[in-house]
């Protein structure tokens, strides 16, 4: 195991954290009850003896928690590119017991900057030039004299006495500290290659030495396909490909070195037909152990969808699948149909066509309550896809109606029928969906063909009609529901079709960034709030004091987290008196 307790060397010395320093470092740390940091047995092992009933129970301070609990907390905070990662590094310097778990998590999750365009500025032997955005990253530095590559973890900058330095804003975008004040010894922590678990290969030089224990690798503009000596690390569990195989290059030898225990695969391409260039050579070498796949294609084509469907169809153990496109292109439904019908735990589909954002007709604009009738669902199941062109009708085309010609390209594309042989996953635990209603009807992802979501559902219903919302399956076991709609949506019809159907099992409801304030949505929500609700999130919804009055007295007794933040609700005593008691977190 890498980076076990006692194996990390401090940068010179660990700053001995004082009480106030530890308090300041911990002020930005927030632990949610839903995040499991340790099993009950671990908590019991590190707890104090039971106190008498009359004595107040003293909770341990953060630096008194067990190592593995601290490491899990640091791991949650140290994900790359998150502001909490910098807070975690400050936490590492606050007390000796916090140093090792925080630094170990930072090294294991760090994003390496191995691009030849990036150069850490080593000004003098004990001086370094740093900018604010570099903190927390793993960077590679080549010693010109020895031609030796050394990796460093960039810590919060400190001076030659080990004291933290404040940032000074310059003309650039990020804060900067003058090199004469920033100590290289105190601000850079050398990281041996063997301790790295993540590795980003960016650039056209694949000759960098790979970490022997690497678990996550990101290839971008790298070209290992022509190198017969290149081999993927045996420890590799997650691979992110963002580079294509050049035409005429045989990458089968390199791809054949993929470990048979690979668990996660991500493909990210921004140009047409790039998937079709990579997947055919990748397909024979993807191990059956793969459980997670992510597809990100901005301009994916019909040919790309064909090959992605072929790839997905060969993954019998797939439990998590995510696909993100700019638009729902042809053969997109084949990808969804290739997914396992059962056993899928997490499904994320994002293909929110820009046509809606540009003002093309919505589901409710076209035929209002007739948008998704039972007849439409049955027709879709029999392969008679219902598209925008069918809904507009031939009479409008004949008369040259402007509304009929507003989006002719999208209308022709969506009118194609879905083959009768396609079947989608029946149940998933988590489902995130951002898809135009016209595309959903075209591919038949409506009514009885919509997967039953057993735990968490996240959807955008901006252009959904009332009947499409009424046919949305809401399982009696659903725990979390996130619904978003835009300013163009019919808020009243959404409220009438959705809120009376909220399952009693819901513990978390999220309507953030949806314009529901001062509408009929709030009184209906107050009437149908689930009895076990613990989290209600209404941030940036335009919630006013009149809305809070509607909700007052209707709050579930189990409510512990409430977010009504935004610019419409004043922070007055009157408002506070209307809010529920017993909250553990309140945002106003």
For residue range 95-143, what is the model confidence (pLDDT) as tens digits? 999 999 999 999 988 766 554 445 566 656 777 777 777 788 888 776 6
Burial class, 42, CB count within 10 angstroms (exposed 0-12 / middle 13-18 / buried 19+): middle
Residue 177 has a pLDDT of 57
- What pLDDT is stored for residue 143 in this prediction? 62
149-197 pLDDT, tens digit per residue, is 788 898 988 888 888 887 665 555 555 555 557 888 898 899 998 888 8
Long-range contacts of 450-454 (CB under 8 A, 24+ apart): 451/347, 451/424, 451/425, 451/426, 451/427, 452/426, 452/427, 452/428, 453/427, 453/428, 453/429, 453/478, 454/427, 454/428, 454/429, 454/478
pLDDT in tens, 424-448: 899 899 999 999 998 999 898 888 8
pLDDT band for position 562 (cuts 50, 70, 90) = very high
What percent of the chain shows pLDDT beyond 70? Answer: 70
Chain Cα centroid distance, residue 91 = 25
Flag the least confident range among 87-91, 198-202, 411-415, 485-489: 411-415
In this structure, the strands spanning 480-484 and 561-563 are: unpaired
Position 168 scores a pLDDT of 61
Q: Is the pLDDT of residue 485 over 90?
A: yes
Confidence band, pLDDT 50/70/90 cuts, at residue 496: very high
Average pLDDT score over residue span 370-389: 34
126 contacts: CB under 8 Å, gap ≥ 6: 160, 183, 184, 185
- The residue that leads in pLDDT, 35 or 517, is 517
- Check whether 21 has a pLDDT greater than 50: no
**Mean pLDDT of all residues in 235-249:** 87
How far apart, in whole angstroms, are the C-alpha atoms of residue 305 and residue 193? 38
Q: Could you give the CA distance from residue 495 to residue 441 in angstroms, rounded to a whole number?
A: 22
Confidence at 309, pLDDT banded by 50, 70, 90: very high
Give the predicted TM-score (pTM) of the model: 0.75
Cβ density class 145-161: b for 16+ within 10 Å, e for less = eeeeebbbbbbbbbeee
Determine the average pLDDT of the residues in 30-35. Answer: 36
- Average pLDDT over the chain, rounded to an integer: 77
Determine which of 477-486, 498-507, 568-577 has the lowest per-residue pLDDT on average.
568-577
- The four Cα atoms 312, 354, 407, 440 give a dihedral, to 10 degrees, of 40
> Which residues, at least 6 apart from 357, have a Cβ–Cβ distance to it below 8 Å?
none
Instruction: Say how far apart CA 419 and CA 383 lie, in whole Å.
Output: 5
Q: Choose between 7 and 224: higher pLDDT.
A: 224
Higher model confidence: residue 232 or residue 180? 232
pLDDT for 205 equals 56
243-257, 307-321, 346-360, 385-399, range with greatest mean pLDDT? 307-321
pLDDT number for residue 60: 74
Task: Work out the average pLDDT over 347-363.
Answer: 59
Q: Which CA distances in Å does 430 have to 68, 291, 352, 499?
A: 28, 15, 19, 20
- Tell me if residue 237 falls in helix, strand or coil: coil
Ranges 22-26, 318-322, 500-504, 516-520: which has the least confidence = 22-26
pLDDT at 374 over 70: no
Q: What is the pLDDT of residue 2?
A: 42
Rg (CA), the chain: 28
Alpha-carbon dihedral 337, 340, 343, 346, rounded to 10 degrees? -50
Alpha helices in 16-150 (DSSP H): 19-26, 40-46, 67-77, 83-92, 96-109
Kindly report the backbone phi and psi dihedral angles of residue 561, in degrees, each rounded to the nearest multiple of 5, phi listed first.
Answer: -135, 125
pLDDT band per the 50, 70, 90 thresholds, residue 8: low
> Any idea which of 22-36, 90-104, 460-474 has the lowest mean pLDDT?
22-36
Higher pLDDT, 346 or 14: 346
For residues 201 and 198, what is the distance between their CA atoms, to the nearest angstrom?
10
Question: Please, which pLDDT band fits residue 5 given cuts at 50, 70 and 90?
Answer: very low
Instruction: Please state the rounded mean pLDDT for residues 451-469.
Output: 94
Which one is predicted more confidently, 486 or 46? Answer: 486
pLDDT at site 520: 92
Q: What is the pLDDT of residue 200?
A: 81
Long-range contact list for 556-559, CB < 8 A, 24+ apart?
A: 556/529, 556/530, 556/531, 556/532, 557/582, 558/507, 558/531, 558/532, 558/533, 558/534, 559/533, 559/534, 559/535, 559/583
The reported pLDDT for the residue numbered 206 is: 53
Q: What percent of the chain has pLDDT over 90?
A: 41
Instruction: Name the more confident of 503 and 581.
Output: 503
Q: Evaluate whether 132 touches 64 at the Cβ level (below 8 Å).
A: no
């Amino acid at each position: 195991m890498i980076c076990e307790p006692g194996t990390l060397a401090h940068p010179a010395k660990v700053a001995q954290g004082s009480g106030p320093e530890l308090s300041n470092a911990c002020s930005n740390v927030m632990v949610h009850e839903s995040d499991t940091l340790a099993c009950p047995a671990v908590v019991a092992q590190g707890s104090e003896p039971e106190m008498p009933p009359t004595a107040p129970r003293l909770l341990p301070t953060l630096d008194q928690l067990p190592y593995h609990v601290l490491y899990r907390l640091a791991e949650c905070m140290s994900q790359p590119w998150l502001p909490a990662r910098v807070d975690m590094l400050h936490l590492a310097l606050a007390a000796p017991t916090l140093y090792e778990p925080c630094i170990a998590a930072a090294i294991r999750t760090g994003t390496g900057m191995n691009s030849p365009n990036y150069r850490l500025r080593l000004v003098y032997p004990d001086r370094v030039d740093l900018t604010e955005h570099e903190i927390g990253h793993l960077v590679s530095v080549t010693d010109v004299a020895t031609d030796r590559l050394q990796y460093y973890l960039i810590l919060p900058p400190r001076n030659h006495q080990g004291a933290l330095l404040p940032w000074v804003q310059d003309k650039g975008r990020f804060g900067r500290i003058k090199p004469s004040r920033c100590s290289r010894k105190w601000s850079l922590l050398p990281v041996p290659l063997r301790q790295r678990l993540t590795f980003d290969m960016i650039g056209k030089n694949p000759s960098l030495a790979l970490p022997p224990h690497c678990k996550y690798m990101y290839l971008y503009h790298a070209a290992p396909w022509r190198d017969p000596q290149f081999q993927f690390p045996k420890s590799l569990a997650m691979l992110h490909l963002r580079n294509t195989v050049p035409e005429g290059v045989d990458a089968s030898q390199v791809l054949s070195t993929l470990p048979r225990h690979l668990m996660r695969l991500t493909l990210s391409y921004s140009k047409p037909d790039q998937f079709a260039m990579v997947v055919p050579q990748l397909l024979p070498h993807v191990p059956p152990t793969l459980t997670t796949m992510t597809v990100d294609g901005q301009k994916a084509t019909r040919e790309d969808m064909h090959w992605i469907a072929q790839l997905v169809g060969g993954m019998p153990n797939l439990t998590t699948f995510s696909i993100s496109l700019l638009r729902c292109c042809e053969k997109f439904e084949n990808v969804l149909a290739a997914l396992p019908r059962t056993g899928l735990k997490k499904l994320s589909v994002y293909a929110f066509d820009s046509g809606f954002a540009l003002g093309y007709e919505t589901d409710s604009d076209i035929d209002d309550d007739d948008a998704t009738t039972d007849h439409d669902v049955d027709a879709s199941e029999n392969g008679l896809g219902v598209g925008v062109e069918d809904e507009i009708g031939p009479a409008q085309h004949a008369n040259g109606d402007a509304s009929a010609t507003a989006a002719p390209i999208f209308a022709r594309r969506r009118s194609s029928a879905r083959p009768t042989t396609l079947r989608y996953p029946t149940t998933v635990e988590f489902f995130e969906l951002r898809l135009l209603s016209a595309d959903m009807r075209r591919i038949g992802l409506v009514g009885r063909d919509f997967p039953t979501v057993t735990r968490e559902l996240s959807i955008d219903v901006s252009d959904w009609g009332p009947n499409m919302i009424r046919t949305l399956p809401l399982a009696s076991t659903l725990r979390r529901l996130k619904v978003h709609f835009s300013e163009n949506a019919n808020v009243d019809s959404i409220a009438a079709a959705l809120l009376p159907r909220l399952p009693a099992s819901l513990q978390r409801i999220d309507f953030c960034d949806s314009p529901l304030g001062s509408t009929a949505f709030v009184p209906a929500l107050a009437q149908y709030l689930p009895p076990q609700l613990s989290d209600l999130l209404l941030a940036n919804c335009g919630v006013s004091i009149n809305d809070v009055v509607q909700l007052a007295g209707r709050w579930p007794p189990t409510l512990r987290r409430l977010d009504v933040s935004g610019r419409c609700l004043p922070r007055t005593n009157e408002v506070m008196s209307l809010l529920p008691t017993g909250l553990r977190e309140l945002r106003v």
